[in-house]
Amino acid sequence: MAHAKWQLNPVLAKLREQVDAMAPRRSKKSDGTIGDAEHAARKSDHNPNEFGIVNALDLTHDPANGFDAGKFAEALRLSRDPRIAYVIWNRRIFSSTVQPWIWRKYNGAPHDHHVHVSVGGAPVPWEIG
């Protein structure tokens, strides 16, 4: 069921705020929150859940302006933050529950222009460097 009103999970809003503070000139070309029609047609954390919360965030890879999505994804993996459900970057995925914290091959969209972060949990600051 689509929600007319939705909000980004506060955990992800906080993460994006921290990334923007760390790399204020980074491109946001491939940033994303709520899913498009393609996402709505399938199960995706970019779709609002039953409470109207979107639990996925995409952040654009822009190392020239201070945001290297690969280094960021690896820092998240090493953090083992319990709020993380899974992260996808550059044809790889890690999860907190399936082969926990180990990079595996990802066969979906390549995610080489942005890193995808799916979460749940309380909006406390992230340890990102």
Asked if pLDDT for residue 1 goes beyond 50, the answer is no
Query: Distances in Å between the alpha carbon of 79 and those of 51, 71, 126?
Result: 28, 12, 9
Asked if pLDDT for residue 21 goes beyond 80, the answer is yes
Query: Distances in Å between the alpha carbon of 40 and those of 32, 43, 107?
Result: 14, 7, 19
Q: Return the H-helix or E-strand segment holding 74.
A: helix 69-79
Q: Rounded to whole angstroms, how far apart are CA atoms 90 and 58?
A: 12
pLDDT at position 54 = 94
Asked if pLDDT for residue 115 goes beyond 60, the answer is yes
The answer to whether the predicted template modeling score (pTM) of the entire model surpasses 0.75 is: yes
In 3D space, the residue among 70, 51, 69, 72 whose CA is nearest the CA of residue 60 turns out to be 69
Share of the chain above pLDDT 90, in %: 78
pLDDT at position 44 = 87
Q: Rounded to whole angstroms, how far apart are CA atoms 81 and 48?
A: 22
Average pLDDT for 34-54: 86
57-113: per-residue pLDDT in tens?
999 999 999 999 999 999 999 999 999 999 999 999 999 999 999 999 999 999 999
